[in-house]
Amino acid sequence: MTTKEQAWLTAVLIGLGALWGLSQPLVKIAVAGQYEPLGMVFIQMLVATVVLGLVQFRRLRRLPIKASTVAIWLMIAFVGTIIPNSASYQALKSIPSGIYSVLIATIPMMSFPIALAMRNETYSSRRLLGLAAGFAGVLCIVIPDASLPERAMLAAIPLAMLGPLCYALEGNLVAKFGTAGMDPIQVMFGASALGAVITLPIAINAGQLTIPTMPLNQSDVALIFASVIHSFVYVVYVWMVGRAGPLFAAQVSYWVTGFGVLWAMLLLGERYAGWVWFAMVLMALGLTLVQPRRPLASNEPEGDTVGTPSA
């Protein structure tokens, strides 16, 4: 890779993190309006189905439909989207968007002990130290009285942590069992389409389905943009993995957290105590130590998956 190519890919990576981080305050705006978590998950998966469906159509590639692929789609839909996003959106009703962006950085740190349990990875003292640094960052948020604007928000932290846990589990399940021969676009398109079919009746029965109508209000626009952004950045992320490799693309985690905090400050006027900034330093240290170091071949599964949020 030439210096010019590396500079270009780095710029794309930063832009990817900026867009991905923007989705967090947009979701915060949506949940502050008339939208409920299950209804938002349905709309997000519906938009992802349309966006990724257009990509799939342009590629003229057949979508394999058999028992093994349906099993993968169900796993991705539930573990990668329905469960974590429902919990995260509920948590974002209570906690600041920037706090959630910081907690998202625990994904690769949660992935390590899961990888050990599933024998996807071997023990590493360096990564264990990174895991400890990451969870020390979480403690800096939940323990000091000055870290959260209101102590009542503490009850929403376990819900917020369920998202990163599911994403970490999803990455390890894919690393362990593969994707039944599908490429990432086929995986996410099938999972999004199946997930939309599953969540529609659930959201209706729960009384949580709200469809954007004209004229669009602030919450409508925020939800639509968040859904489109998420679908777009996933496609770019998949391209980045194929072009620059999984280790280079994994660095997006740093930028998602950093930009998520910055966007929350700019769009929502959020401000944070010194404990939160110290937590971000510990998270960055933990990410640096946990990230895999050895290069991977293009056909080798990535054992310590970053597990970025799915569609």
Of 162, 175, 188, which is closest to residue 305 (Cα–Cα)? 175
Q: How far apart are CA 119 and CA 190, in angstroms?
A: 28
User: Is the pLDDT assigned to residue 96 strictly greater than 80?
Assistant: yes
Q: What is the pLDDT of residues 115-138, one digit of tens each?
A: 778 877 777 777 778 778 877 877
Name residue, tokens 């503490």: 154
- For residue 197, is it within any domain? yes
- For residue 113, is it within any domain? yes
The residue among 244 and 91 whose pLDDT is bigger is 91
Q: What is the pLDDT of residues 249-292, one digit of tens each?
A: 666 777 788 888 888 888 888 887 787 888 878 877 776 776 65
- For residue 36, is it within any domain? yes
DSSP-assigned letters across all residues of the chain: --HHHHHHHHHHHHHHHHHHHHHHHHHHHHHHTT--HHHHHHHHHHHHHHHHHHHHHHHT-----SHHHHHHHHHHHIIIIIHHHHHHHHHTTTS-HHHHHHHHTTHHHHHHHHHHHTTSS---HHHHHHHHHHHHHHHHHHSSTTTSSSGGGGGGHHHHHHHHHHHHHHHHHHHHH--TT--HHHHHHHHHHHHHHHHHHHHHHTT------SSP-HHHHHHHHHHHHHHHHHHHHHHHHHHH-HHHHHTHHHHHHHHHHHHHHHHH-----HHHHHHHHHHHHHHHHHS--S---TTS--SS-------
Share of the chain above pLDDT 90, in %: 11
Range of the domain at 206: 3-290
- For residue 306, is it within any domain? no
Alpha-carbon distances, residue 268 vs 71, 73, 163, 302 (angstroms): 40, 35, 22, 36
pLDDT winner (highest mean) among 9-18, 35-44, 131-140, 150-159: 35-44
- For residue 46, is it within any domain? yes
- For residue 266, is it within any domain? yes
Least confident residue range of 47-61, 76-90, 255-269, 292-306: 292-306
- For residue 86, is it within any domain? yes
- Count structural domains, the chain: 1
Name every residue whose Cβ is closer than 8 Å to that of residue 276 and which is 6 or more positions away in sequence.
98, 99, 102, 140, 141, 147
- For residue 183, is it within any domain? yes
Structure tokens belonging to residue 186? 């086929």
Q: What is the pLDDT of residues 170-211, one digit of tens each?
A: 877 877 887 888 887 888 899 899 999 999 999 999 989 888
Name every residue whose Cβ is closer than 8 Å to that of residue 266 and which is 6 or more positions away in sequence.
none
What pTM does this model have?
Answer: 0.79
